[in-house]
Amino acid sequence: MDDGGRAMNNRYRGISLWWLAMAAALTPLITIHTTFVVSILEGHVSWCVPYWDSCTSISRTGRYGTSYFIFKGTMLPAAILGVLFWFLNSQWLLQLGATSRGRPWIPWLGLVACASLAAYTLALGHAGDGFYLIRRIGVVLYFALTYIAQLLISSALTGHPRWRRSGQHLLWLCELTLAVGILSVILSAVAPTVYSQTDDAFEWVLALLINLHAIWLAVLWKKSGFRARLWAE
């Protein structure tokens, strides 16, 4: 095939987008584990396994020393990647034909969730009631709206003949995430002492489950051949 033929073929094949979804999924996950390790090395956090020791919050890992700059320097780009990720998820469902009533809401939910993540990141490391309130609102909105967007995507896929099985698996993951969230709420209401000793672990587990869902979506983008085309006449 000559150069013109290759260029024409590449034009119609487009650029694979699964790597963007994988970057959006892995950047927050890698960041919190990197800042955790750096905080241990610099003596700001004691060695532990936060998923069950509940020894430190995610916020604390990015509050001091070098981790402060790593956290802000990666989470802010992650928020931007997230906005693009949720917009493209809506387009992906449209291209698959896996449409539902909730599909148009996905990019908006993602936009507010990622804006909340950015606000949380900017407020991290600053003292005062105002900054504390921003952090709390930011993390709650990020987790809640991200979960709703993931639920809408999973539900839409269950209505597609080819992707029904994958959608069902993603729904099971959403149910697990919801179960963890409900358990944390129940504990905070009926056993506040126990909850105060385990709340950080719940935060780590929820962050892991949410990012696992995003990783799974990236794999589905790759399997479906989701691509973008750019050209000039």
Could you tell me which residues are beta bridge partners of residue 16? 227
- Residues 103, 150 contacting (CB under 8 angstroms): no
Would you call 228 helix, strand, or coil by DSSP? strand
Distance CA 22, CA 20 (A): 5
Segment 4-46, tens digit of pLDDT: 444 444 445 678 899 999 999 999 999 999 999 999 999 998 8
Amino acid type, 199: D
* Mean pLDDT value of segment 147-169: 93
Instruction: With cut-offs at 50, 70 and 90, classify the pLDDT of residue 100.
Output: confident
High-pLDDT (> 70) share of the chain, %: 93
The DSSP code sequence of 156-179 is: HHHTSTTTHHHHHHHHHHHHHHHH
Domain regions of the chain by residue span: 3-228
Dihedral of CA 31/32/37/39: which sign? positive
pTM, whole model, 2 decimals?
0.89
What residues does 15 pair with on adjacent strands? 228
∠ CA 122-183-86, rounded to 5°: 45
In sign, the C-alpha dihedral spanning 126, 33, 53, 169 is positive
Q: In degrees to the nearest 10, what's the CA dihedral of 166, 169, 175, 180?
A: -120
3 confidence band (pLDDT: 50, 70, 90): very low
